[in-house]
């Protein structure tokens, strides 16, 4: 599943002395979410090479004719568009959502690949975790409500992963 919980409270403190407010200190837990990548980079290269070979095979029958020059731009254009949209998909895969939990603060940061950074903070005592099995933008739509604002989390995950995320969030924020 494309998420990772980190337990940060077990590490040694970086400063000594009296304890301070946990919002200024170390967070207890951190959750990092990212979209699933089904095609690794090696698979991308293999896909482009196989597609290139598949375009060349039928074009070989037209070598030496003027029809080759009529079909070649369309074949190369199709290959270039595949390359462009797969690269764009990899760019979208840089999306990250990070939920950090302190004793007195919860912070959600979303790093968009082609947009501004989005942040949300609230007191964990007042945060309400909810799920909409149906009727939301996606199945099992998970939201956090606090500080007079509702934010989504993990909308790019599969429905089963969002349901599991919902139960994890209930356990961690309480």
**Is the domain of 71 the same as that of 120?**
no
Q: How confident is the model at residue 23 (pLDDT cuts 50, 70, 90)?
A: very low
Same domain for 156 and 102: yes
Residue 15 lies in a domain: no
Domain housing 75: 41-92
Q: What percentage of the chain has pLDDT greater than the value 90? A: 63
Report, as an integer, the average pLDDT of 39-67. Answer: 91
- CATH number for 114: 2.30.29
Look over the chain and give the mean of its residue pLDDT values, rounded to a whole number. Answer: 87
Asked if residue 166 and residue 154 are part of one domain, the reply reads: yes
Whether residue 119 is predicted with pLDDT greater than 90 in this model: the reply is: yes
pLDDT for position 20: 45
What pTM, to 2 d.p., does this model score?
A: 0.74
Average pLDDT over residues 22-33: 79
The last residue of a domain, from among 77, 92, 107: 92
Residue 37 near residue 93 (C-beta atoms within 8 A): yes
- Whether residue 34 has pLDDT greater than 50: yes
DSSP the chain: --EEEEE-TTSPPSS-SS---TTTS--SEEEEE-----S-HHHHHHHHHHHHHHHHHHHGGGTTSHHHHHHHHHHHHHHHHHHHHHHHHHHHTT-EEEEEE-SS-EEEEEE-TTS--EEEEE-TTT-EEEEESSSSSSTTEEEEEETTEEEE--TTS-HHHHHHHHHHHHHHH-
Q: How far is CA 1 from CA 37, 41, 48, 115, 161, in A?
A: 11, 19, 27, 25, 7
């Amino acid at each position: 599943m494309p998420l990772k919980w980190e337990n940060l409270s077990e590490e040694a403190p970086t400063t000594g002395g009296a304890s301070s407010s946990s919002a200024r200190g170390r967070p207890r837990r951190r959750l990092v979410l990212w979209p699933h990548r089904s095609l690794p980079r090696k698979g991308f290269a293999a896909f482009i090479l196989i597609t290139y070979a598949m375009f060349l095979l039928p074009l070989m029958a037209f070598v030496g004719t003027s029809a080759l020059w009529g079909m070649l731009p369309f074949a190369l254009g199709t290959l270039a568009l595949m390359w462009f949209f797969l690269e764009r998909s990899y760019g979208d895969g840089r999306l990250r959502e990070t939920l950090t939990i302190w004793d007195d603060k919860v912070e959600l940061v979303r790093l968009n690949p082609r947009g501004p950074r989005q942040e949300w903070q609230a007191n964990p005592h007042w945060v309400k975790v909810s799920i909409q099995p149906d009727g939301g933008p996606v199945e099992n739509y998970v939201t956090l409500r606090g500080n007079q604002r509702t934010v989504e989390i993990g909308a790019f995950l599969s429905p089963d992963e969002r349901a599991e995320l919902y139960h994890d969030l209930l356990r961690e924020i309480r």
